[in-house]
Amino acid sequence: MPVEFADRMKNIKGSEIRELLKLTENPEVISFAGGLPAPELFPIEEMKKVSVAVLEEEGRAALQYSTTEGHGPLREKIAQRMNDKLKTNISKVDILITNGSQQGLDFAGKIFINKGDVILCESPSYLGAINAFNSYQPKYIEVPTDENGMIMEALEEILEKTKNVKMIYVIPDFQNPTGRTWSLERRKKFIEIINKYEIPAIEDNPYVELRFDEGFLPCLKALDTKGLIIYLGSFSKIFCPGYRLGWTCASPEILSKFIIVKQGADLQASTISQREVNKFMEMYDLDAHVEKIKSVYKVRRDLMLKTLEEELPEGVKFTRPSGGLFTWLELPENIDASELLKKCLENNVAYVSGEAFFPNGGKYNCFRMNYSTMTEDKIVEGIKRLAIALKEFM
């Protein structure tokens, strides 16, 4: 059947992570591949009470269509939370509820990108974002990064000599995949630069509340003076991903575009999910829940870093994230992480090879490991298996 697809479909391929997740469903496999929250921390008992309360108190409204922007009280709580935690100065009207922050990425591509336009991003960057943007046929320029995040001199140099940059995509806190966090200085400089060039920037910030130490850094949105930052937030990592709820926070002119795009895309996020998450925040203490998550992930991060240190051979480097879900490993130049992965899968341990995180490809010796999903004993056992595979391979 010779059905003709649109040109953009040539750019779109399935996410390697989601394909890999199917392989790792085998319970024998110790998987550091996903970015899954620890399911044993989900507030199951609380959500039983919450579900019944929502249906009892507001059942008809909860099961009906609702507004595209999202449930008012939930948007209000999100705005308040951002102001409290991240020092933004926003309100309910600046928030659109989306299906996870992933949907905000797709919408950003739709709103800003003509075919051939340039997106700047960190090198490496989140592959789910790259997959979303690819529908709109952009070109990418990867901006070099170091342990303090995107390198601002490099960013400015690229902006100076590149036409058609329509959007900059960044993850300033506990980046996916590297786990790195931007310094305050870089954040301020970034705002200065985007103000000068007047380029909108997507601040993808799903992990920001999962900081393991006492430090504080303002989000880019809190430093934004020209309304150029589009902040994407999510309940997936601080609550549960199963509800598929996230949000976009942007200045009115930009947010209005997100809202009409949301209308056409799927009318609105789930009414009942929105009301359930809102009710959870009324009946229980989300802060306390986040604290619990953080304390567990901190132990797992510590254990993963310690075990990597002990088990891995010389010549393998890894990042030391101060929050979030991931560490990023660099192998000696001559080792291809996707070849190594095949060996690892034989040994029932998995990670995500690094190449897919570089939108222009070409980097083969790195990979991402998640420390939030696996329990402590599995973290140790999994790294041992990885080390064995790696030593055989080297």
Of 111, 119, 286, 335, the residue at the interface with a copy of itself (CB under 8 A) is 111
When asked if residue 370 is in the footprint of a copy of itself (CB under 8 A), the reply is: no
Residue count, binding to a copy of itself (CB under 8 A): 87
Footprint of a copy of itself on 230-249 (CB under 8 A): 236, 240-244
Task: Give the CA-trace dihedral at 250, 140, 220, 291, to 10 degrees.
Answer: 100
Which lies closer to a copy of itself via its Cβ, residue 138 or residue 149? 138
Residues from 65 through 104 that contact a copy of itself (CB under 8 A): 65-68, 98-100, 102-103
The DSSP letter of residue 323 is B
Burial 331-363 (b: 16+ CB within 10 A, else e): beeebebeebbebbbebbbbbbbbbbbbbeeeb
**What is the residue whose two structure tokens read 């797709």?**
106
Nearest distance from residue 111's CB to a copy of itself, in Å? 6
Amino acid present at 173: D
Interface residue with a copy of itself among 227, 296, 299, 384 (CB under 8 A) is 227
Of the pair 5, 161, the CB lying nearest a copy of itself is at 5
- For residue 191, give the 3-state DSSP assignment: helix
Helix (H) / strand (E) element for 317: namely strand 317-318
**Segment 268-327, which members bind a copy of itself (CB under 8 A)?**
268-273
Any contact of residue 63 with a copy of itself (CB under 8 A)?
Answer: yes
- Nearer CB in complex with a copy of itself: 228/337: 228
Residue 141, SS3 per DSSP = strand
Rule CB under 8 A: choose which of 30, 32, 88, 117 binds a copy of itself: 117
Cα–Cα dist 327/41, whole Å: 21
Least Å distance between CB 335 and a copy of itself? 29
CA distance 68 to 236: 20
Q: Binding marks (x or -) toward a copy of itself, 1..20, rule CB under 8 A? A: xxxxxxxxx--xxxx--x--
Contact between residue 235 and residue 277 where contact means Cβ atoms under 8 Å apart: yes
DSSP state of 211: B
Looking at beta carbons only, is 134 or 322 nearer to a copy of itself? 134
Q: What is the DSSP letter of 6?
A: P
- Site for a copy of itself contains 48 (CB under 8 A): yes
Give the residue with the Cβ less far from a copy of itself, 182 or 280.
280
User: Do you know the residue count of the chain?
Assistant: 394
Contact between 266 and a copy of itself per CB under 8 A = yes
Place of tokens 């080297």: 394
Indicate whether 134 belongs to the interface with a copy of itself (CB under 8 A): yes
- Quote the least distance from Cβ 308 to a copy of itself, whole Å: 25
Q: Which stretch binds a copy of itself (CB under 8 A): 89-97, 207-215, 258-266, 308-316?
A: 258-266
In whole angstroms, give the CA distance from residue 150 to residue 181: 9
d(CA 160, CA 180): 26
Among 32, 34, 159, 210, binds a copy of itself (CB under 8 A): 34
Q: Does residue 214 bind a copy of itself (CB under 8 A)?
A: no
